Amino acid sequence: MDLEALRVSLLLAAATSACLLIIGLPIGYWLAFTRSRMRAIVEPVVALPLVLPPTVLGFCVLLALGPRSPLGRAIEQATGQALVFTFEGLLVASILYSLPFAVQPFATAFAGVDMRLREAAFCLGASSLGTFFRVILPLSRRGVLAGVILSFAHTLGEFGVVLMVGGNIPGVTRTASIAIYDSVQALDYAAAFRTSAVLVGVSLVILAATSHLLGGLVLPGARRR
- Give the angle 34-36-38 at the CA atoms, nearest 5°: 115
Spatial distance between the Cα atoms of 25 and 143, rounded to a whole number of angstroms: 11
pLDDT at 78: 83
Among 79, 58, 60, 78, which Cα is nearest to 69's? 60
pLDDT band at 216 (very low <50, low <70, confident <90, very high): low
Spatial distance between the Cα atoms of 174 and 171, rounded to a whole number of angstroms: 6
174 burial level (CB within 10 Å; 0-12, 13-18, 19+)? buried
pLDDT at 30: 94
pLDDT at 214: 63
Per-residue pLDDT tens digits for 32-78: 999 899 999 999 999 999 898 888 999 999 898 888 888 888 888 88
Please check the confidence at residue 83 and state whether its pLDDT lies above 90: no
**Out of 22-36, 50-64, 122-136, 211-225, which region has the weakest mean confidence (pLDDT)?**
211-225
- Report which residue type is found at 65: L
Spatial distance between the Cα atoms of 85 and 187, rounded to a whole number of angstroms: 26
Contact criterion met (CB below 8 Å) for 131 and 122? yes
pLDDT at 223: 47
Spatial distance between the Cα atoms of 182 and 58, rounded to a whole number of angstroms: 19
Spatial distance between the Cα atoms of 51 and 86, rounded to a whole number of angstroms: 26
Contact criterion met (CB below 8 Å) for 94 and 12? yes
Three-class SS state of 110: helix
Query: From the centroid of its chain, how far is CA 169?
Result: 22
pLDDT at 143: 87
The H or E element containing residue 154 is: helix 141-156
As a whole number of angstroms, the longest Cα–Cα distance in the chain is 67
pLDDT band at 116 (very low <50, low <70, confident <90, very high): confident
- Model confidence, pTM: 0.86
